[in-house]
Amino acid sequence: MVHKQAGALALVSALLMSTSAFAQQRVVTWNADYDPIPLAATEALIADFEAANPDIDVQLTNFDHEGYKTSIRNFLTADPPDLANWYAANRMKPFVEAGLFADITDVWDANGLNESLASSILSSTIDGKKYAIPYTYYQWGIYYNRDAYKAAGIEAPGPEGVTWEQFLANCETFKAAGIDCVTTGSSALWPVAGIFDYVSMRTNGYQFHSDLAAGKISWTSPEARAVFAELAKLQPYVTANHAAIDWQDAAAIFVQNKASHYVMGNFAVGVFKEGGMTNDNLGFMVFPEITAGVARAEEAPTDTVHLTAGAKNPEDAKKLLAYIASAEAQTKWNAAVGQLPTNSGATVDPADPFLSAGFASLSTATGGIAQFWDRDAEAEYAKAGMEGFQRFLVQPEALEEILATLEATRLRLYPQ
Amino acid sequence: MAQASDVTMAAPVRPPKRRMNQRTIAPWVFLAPGLFMFVVYVLWPIVQSITLSFYDWNGLYDQDGAFTGTFVGVANYAELMTDPAFEVSLWNNLKWLALYLLALPIGLFIAIFLNQTVTGIRLYKSLFFFPFVISQVVVGLMFAWFYAPNFGLFYLLTEWITGQGTAILADPDLVTYGIIAAGLWPQIAYVMILYLTGLNNVAPDQIEAARLDGAKGWRMLWYVVLPQLRPATFIAVIVTVIGALRSFDLVSIMTSGGPFGSSRILSYYMYEKALSEYGFRMGYGAAIAVVLFAIMMVFISGFIWKMWRDEKER
């Protein structure tokens, strides 16, 4: 009884304190779509920010990840928060064009972000104005299974990776040993876009990828055909029936040593490790060079925070944005989540081999950093493309039909 | 007499008018709540969807809440005519319609089989009815696992028989049939229960008479039992056709329209174009919805016309 009373008293006083605190504080509202681990990291970030700015109260509303994609369209007009999570590049374009995201070029200029976030300038800019604060990204590449290499009797590649010919030759050996050389689960389509993007960027370079995603290049052009020709060399070694399984199901195949390579983003490392892999048998390498002399470009999708046009407290929201962009905040947030900071002044935990490898791979990618097919291309075009890639990996003989469909879509969306 | 005629003279002036009012107003008063709901939640959205199908709109309002779409006339419909994905969806819808009707003979067969009195028949009936009770989402998940490559029961079975496992949901030619099979499972149970109740109302004296006349087996079924089951058959056809046309959940759960769009049906394609992550072409989605609505109207009008005719006969 005494305990209960004490508890009730504490509760009442806490309520009183919080209401009195609210009265003095200015509120910044922030809508986000975090999974549990990033959510905890963000709550820590907010706590640090509030400690430094005791007069500001940040109120985070967290949405379910999938539901957020729909709800953001409603809340941006109906009840805009000050800040909202979204993605860089073409993904934010509809909101920028509808005037729902605010121009934050001043935040970039006032905080020296043009230097510290230099690698993300392209993906944060639309028509010369900046609309996003990038705070994290993760590398893509090839994760490989050393145990599968041992089982097939092939020497595992070193950090410099292997040549494309060697890679395909290894695939042949893996196939003979009954091991899938490249696994993927494409029921949600996007994993095949990763494979296609890499073959495309290694064959023709970053600018080709970017122009292709922007609808500037014909699917029946010799360059595009060259990409599919290289993809055709890989096709026989990709897990059969990948169209019916999720990427997590394919991760199970990979973990069980039934597959040797997985073209994936770094977020998959957590899943591989949950499946029992360790730093000893899980390896990372960059995708092999295909056309000699093409500058190496990498995929690193960037997550961003945006100031909404309907923000009620833009001044304090910009303070928070500047804090999110800072090296200190990004180092801490990304260390907690296991991703890479976008701020060049931030540091990465050297004990994590995959983060270090990713950091090295991205900082030496002289060709450029791509966002990913479905963020560089417009939504409808992206989907049509991914269906084509998936179909090619299942029915390579239908190439002409696939290219014709894609070209028709391109001409409809981007009339020449 | 004079007084009486006075009364009758005076009478037509007032009370009949009130009676007229009652007669004309009362039905509308009783209908009002239903009509209100119908107009707001059925008619108005239909009008809105049809209007929207003439616009190109990404679903966003600008900061002042103004509509950002542009009027494009019949461009959405013109695009539908040449859209290969729309063609695939339409064909798949036809497959659904045709194969879903298999639920009728199978449901009838099970109903006749279960229409007997042995101990525990109630339990058997419940077990057969069970698939209809579980959610379509669960049915979809179960069948997705059943078909799953590498560990699914069906995959292992085909692997054991032919040496080469068949992953139905990864095969663009088989995927639609795989999903229809999943949809048939609960639909058969539904039709079965409709026929079971119908069989309860079959007149025993007619059966008796037919038996005396030497009718047996198929002839008995075809000439005596089935005609009496006509109302049940009618309802079963209607719910099956509508079920086939709106079978959105199974496609969504089992394949999301894949592989590369080969299991799309109209309702899912509409969702994909209008509301999914890579969609938000509201006008185009609305145009697909209008086409689906037109197809459904054929069946619904037939249903209403028959009901109306039956009412008049009575």
Q: What is the pLDDT of residues A304-329, one digit of tens each?
A: 999 999 899 999 999 999 999 999 99
CB contact under 8 A, A387 and B169: no
Give how far B277 is from chain A: nearest CA, Å.
7
Dmax (CA) of chain B: 105
The lowest-confidence range among A94-108, A393-407, B202-216 is B202-216
- Amino acid of residue A322: A
pLDDT at A22 > cutoff 60: no
Point out the residue among A98, A240, A249 whose CB comes nearest to the CB of B68.
Answer: A98
Which ranges in chain A are annotated with CATH 3.40.190.10?
23-137+301-346, 140-299+372-413
Overall residue count recorded for chain B in this entry: 314
CB < 8 Å to A374, chain B: 278
Say how far apart CA A63 and CA A59 lie, in whole Å. Answer: 13
Q: How many CB atoms lie within 10 A of CB B158?
A: 17
pLDDT at A12 > cutoff 70: no
Interface test with B, best of A70, A239, A387 (most B CBs within 10 A): A387
Task: Tell me what pLDDT residue B151 has.
Answer: 84
Confidence of residue A2 (pLDDT cuts 50, 70, 90): very low
Point out the residue among B60, B63, B255 whose CB comes nearest to the CB of A73.
Answer: B60
Torsion sign (Cα): A238, A241, A242, A245: negative
What pLDDT, in 10s, does the model give residues B25-39?
A: 888 999 999 999 999
Mean pLDDT of B76-88: 90
Task: Tell me what pLDDT residue B4 has.
Answer: 47
Whether residue B275 lies inside any domain: the answer is yes
Q: At what angle do helices A314-325 and A327-337 cross, to 10 degrees?
A: 70
pLDDT averaged over every residue in chain A? 88
Interface test with A, best of B278, B280, B281, B284 (most A CBs within 10 A): B278
The lowest-confidence range among A64-68, A198-202, B206-210 is A64-68
How many domains are contained in chain B? 1
What pLDDT, in 10s, does the model give residues A34-78?
A: 888 889 999 999 999 999 999 999 999 999 887 888 889 889 988
CB contact under 8 A, B84 and A243: no
pLDDT averaged over every residue in chain B? 86
Mean pLDDT of A252-256: 92
> Is the pLDDT higher at A307 or at B12?
A307
- Half-sphere exposure (CA, 13 Å, Cβ side) for A16? 6
What pLDDT, in 10s, does the model give residues B226-271?
A: 888 888 898 899 889 888 887 889 999 898 887 898 999 999 999 9
What range defines the domain where residue B170 resides? 83-313
CB contact under 8 A, B280 and A94: yes
CB contact under 8 A, A94 and B58: yes
Task: Kindly give, in sequence order, each residue whose CB lies less than 8 Å from that of residue A198, ignoring residues fewer than 6 positions away.
Answer: A140, A263, A287, A299
Backbone phi and psi for residue B311, each to the nearest 5 degrees, phi listed first: -60, -45
pLDDT at A114 > cutoff 70: yes
Give how far B167 is from chain A: nearest CA, Å.
6
Give how far A271 is from chain B: nearest CA, Å.
20
CB contact under 8 A, B258 and A70: no
Point out the residue among A244, A309, A387 whose CB comes nearest to the CB of B63.
Answer: A309
CB < 8 Å to B255, chain A: 187, 244
Whether residue B18 lies inside any domain: the answer is no
CB < 8 Å to B62, chain A: 77, 98-100
> Coil, helix or strand for B71?
strand
> CA nearest B151 in A: which residue?
A249
Q: How far is CA A115 from CA A54, A323, A327, in A?
A: 29, 15, 12
> CA nearest B64 in A: which residue?
A77
Whether residue B144 lies inside any domain: the answer is yes
CATH architecture entry for A23-137+301-346: 3-Layer(aba) Sandwich (3.40)
Mean pLDDT of A130-137: 92
Give how far A103 is from chain B: nearest CA, Å.
14
Give how far B137 is from chain A: nearest CA, Å.
17
Confidence of residue A159 (pLDDT cuts 50, 70, 90): low
Can you tell me the ipTM of this complex? 0.79
Say how far apart CA A391 and CA A189 lie, in whole Å. Answer: 10
Tokens encoding A93: 């374009």
Strand partners for A143: A262, A284
> CA nearest A186 in B: which residue?
B259
Tell me, what CATH number does B139's domain have? 1.10.3720.10
Task: Tell me what pLDDT residue A270 has.
Answer: 84
> CA nearest A79 in B: which residue?
B63
Point out the residue among B61, B259, B280 whose CB comes nearest to the CB of A243.
Answer: B259
Say how far apart CA A29 and CA A309 lie, in whole Å. Answer: 13
Strand partners for B133: none
> Coil, helix or strand for B70?
strand
CATH architecture entry for A140-299+372-413: 3-Layer(aba) Sandwich (3.40)
Confidence of residue B296 (pLDDT cuts 50, 70, 90): confident
CB contact under 8 A, B172 and A395: yes
CB contact under 8 A, B256 and A395: no
Whether residue B309 lies inside any domain: the answer is yes
> CA nearest B59 in A: which residue?
A73
Question: Could you tell me what percent of chain A has a pLDDT over 90?
Answer: 54
> Is the pLDDT higher at A228 or at A346?
A228
